[in-house]
Amino acid sequence: MTEPTPARPVLLTGASGALGRLLAGRLAREGRALVLTDLVEPAYALPAGTRFIAADLADREAVLRLGSDYSAILHFGAVSTERDFADIFRPNIAGAHHIFDLARASKARVIFASSNHAIGFSRRDVRLDEDCDLRPDGYYGLSKAYGELLARLYWDKHGLESLSLRIGSCVERPTELRHLSTWLSFDDLVRLVEAGLAHPTLGCRIVWGVSANTRAWWVPHDEIGMVVRDDAERFAGAVVAGAAEADPVSSRHQGGTFCASGYDREKFSPQELFGWRGTGQAMPSRTVE
């Protein structure tokens, strides 16, 4: 009798971060072969059945040395806050590029941790489908938009399957007003990742990484996005409006404080710059806000 071929492992980048830690523990529990990677070794005990390899995402050779026999790559490694472009470029942009090339070499699918900050300059009074315009709210959001477009390019050109999860606020529980719309529970994150790993015809998808929140701004159409079950509303009574809600730029846009970082548009009003004021001419609808 021949032994069954062991399943090819899943690679998890960003394993030392908060979401990496959560995924490592939860996915290993299912008995899945997992390889973890990050710049620095995790501060937690490695779950049974996992092993860790250190690698800098910005170092192409180090990434390609991670091996080429993965069934899937969960790409959660990145700088996760707004920073100067120079700090974002190497890990998030060059890093994503290296990971997608590793996925090509492995013939692996990629589950990419994108972010709501790729569409963060959308107003809070609009409801968005997955195919809405990209409206990054900073260099971090721009790097996530780049990752989504990289996924699209590698599907069209190389047939590489991917799921870009546009994650809202993946925290244990909502702590601010905005989270009542953007919250993604830990359980729902795991459900989304599992659904992406298991889907027989993944293709190239963008899916909202948000729980089934009563106040959600994002409308799921993709079946993968519909596996979520939790609702932030049960925490509504305990959530208070923080300082961010008093700031007009943060409170107007879905990306919140990321939008306010470095914002100076009001000093350079398009109405004045382009002479729209007083001409009686309607401003082009897609550029008004």
Would you name the residues annotated as active-site residues?
A: 140
- Using DSSP, how many helices (H) and how many strands (E) does the chain show? 11, 7
Query: Please, what is the minimum distance in Å from the beta carbon of residue 169 to ligand 15L?
Result: 3
Query: Please, what is the minimum distance in Å from the beta carbon of residue 262 to ligand 15L?
Result: 16
**Residue 19 neighbours by CB under 8 Å, 6+ apart:** 76, 113, 170, 189
Note whether 115 binds ligand 15L by CB under 6 A: yes
With contact defined as beta carbons under 8 Å apart, do 109 and 161 qualify?
A: yes
- Selected range binding ligand 15L among 20-28, 92-100, 114-122, 231-239, rule: CB under 6 A: 114-122
Which tokens go with 135? 């409206």
Residue 283 CB coordination number (10 Å): 14
With contact defined as beta carbons under 8 Å apart, do 53 and 35 qualify?
A: yes
Judged by CB under 6 A, the residue of 162, 169, 185, 250 near ligand 15L is 169
Taking residues 175 to 214 in sequence order and writing x for each that binds ligand 15L by CB under 6 A, - otherwise, the string is -------x--------------------------------
Note whether 13 binds ligand 15L by CB under 6 A: no
Picking from 144, 36, 156, 150, the residue whose alpha carbon sits closest to that of residue 100 is 150
- Selected range binding ligand 15L among 85-93, 100-108, 115-123, 189-197, rule: CB under 6 A: 115-123
Note whether 250 binds ligand 15L by CB under 6 A: no
> Residue type at 16?
S
Note whether 117 binds ligand 15L by CB under 6 A: yes
Q: Which is nearer to ligand 15L, 179 or 205 (CB)?
A: 179
Query: Please, what is the minimum distance in Å from the beta carbon of residue 144 to ligand 15L?
Result: 7
Q: Which is nearer to ligand 15L, 21 or 50 (CB)?
A: 21
Q: Which is nearer to ligand 15L, 14 or 196 (CB)?
A: 14
Query: Please, what is the minimum distance in Å from the beta carbon of residue 85 to ligand 15L?
Result: 17
Taking residues 63 to 102 in sequence order and writing x for each that binds ligand 15L by CB under 6 A, - otherwise, the string is -----------------xx---------------------
Note whether 116 binds ligand 15L by CB under 6 A: yes
Query: Please, what is the minimum distance in Å from the beta carbon of residue 167 to ligand 15L?
Result: 6
The span from the CA of 25 to the CA of 45, in Å, is 10
The span from the CA of 265 to the CA of 134, in Å, is 18
- Burial of residue 30, with CB atoms counted within 10 A of its CB: 0-12 exposed, 13-18 middle, 19 or more buried: exposed
**Residue 13 neighbours by CB under 8 Å, 6+ apart:** 20, 37, 38, 57, 73, 74, 75, 76, 77, 99
Pairing of strands 162-167, 109-115: parallel
Site for ligand 15L in 138-167 (CB under 6 A): 167
Q: Which residues bind ligand 15L (CB under 6 A)?
A: 80-81, 115-117, 167, 169, 182
